[in-house]
Amino acid sequence: MKNNTSNFHNIRFKTLFSEEMISARVKELGLQIANDYVERNPIFVCILRGGIYFFSDLTKAVPIPIELDFMQAKSYVGTESSGNIELIKDLDSDISGRDVLIVEDIVDTGRTLKFLISHILSKKPKSLEVAALLFKEGGEAVGYPIKYIGWKIGKEFVIGYGLDYDGKFRNLPGVFLYSEE
């Protein structure tokens, strides 16, 4: 990464958060979370697919015993059923009476998260908190407090570190502003 841009398949993107910035922030969040969850054996839930890198780095930055699980939802934006969200991968663990932490890549309108929260709450966890690497302006519509946030950003579309545009760019090591060349 040079000159505040990334060269990826000959497309240059402006860097919003570099690999180094993300690594430092994730370590801070990890210590904060570890401090809050000492002796609680929480279950960290990765929201596929965008959450993979944040989840894998964050879970390694939490020096306490934790368990891992995975969920995936699909939303039908831009179709007749716009706004509908379907669960395509549910949790494998029994989370009733457990402390659960959702690990999400980004909260935009908050619709996906709202759906996931109500699904998880229906399973009666002891507690439920959310860690989101990025929180977009307007995400408050989720109506649930997001306890751990990497950064708040504006309404811009971002890619990398798990975030995609049309299925691509998830494997960029930092977070970049998406722009058509």
Which positions are catalytic?
108
Q: Is 72 in the site for ligand IMP (CB under 6 A)?
A: no
Total residue count of the chain as it appears in this document: 181
CA pair distance 162, 105, nearest whole angstrom: 7
Q: Is 50 in the site for ligand IMP (CB under 6 A)?
A: yes
Least distance (Å) between residue 14 CB and ligand IMP: 13
Angle CA 103–110–69, to nearest 5: 25
Q: Is 93 in the site for ligand IMP (CB under 6 A)?
A: no
Residue choice 22, 71, 101, 106 for contact with ligand IMP (CB under 6 A)? 106
Q: Is 99 in the site for ligand IMP (CB under 6 A)?
A: no
Q: Is 111 in the site for ligand IMP (CB under 6 A)?
A: yes
Which stretch in 19-27, 35-43, 102-110, 116-124 sits in contact with ligand IMP by CB under 6 A?
Answer: 102-110
Residue choice 25, 61, 62, 110 for contact with ligand IMP (CB under 6 A)? 110
Are 131 and 147 in contact by the 8 Å Cβ rule? The answer is yes
Question: How many residues interact with ligand IMP (rule CB under 6 A)?
Answer: 15
Binding mask 1-40 for ligand IMP (x = CB under 6 A): ----------------------------------------
Q: Is 76 in the site for ligand IMP (CB under 6 A)?
A: no
26 is written with which tokens?
């994730």
88 is written with which tokens?
């395509």
Beta-strand runs (E) in the chain: 5-8, 11-17, 43-48, 67-75, 85-89, 99-107, 127-136, 148-153, 158-159, 175-177
Closest CA relative to residue 142, chosen from 126, 171, 118: 118
Q: Which residues bind ligand IMP (CB under 6 A)?
A: 50, 105-113, 157-159, 163-164
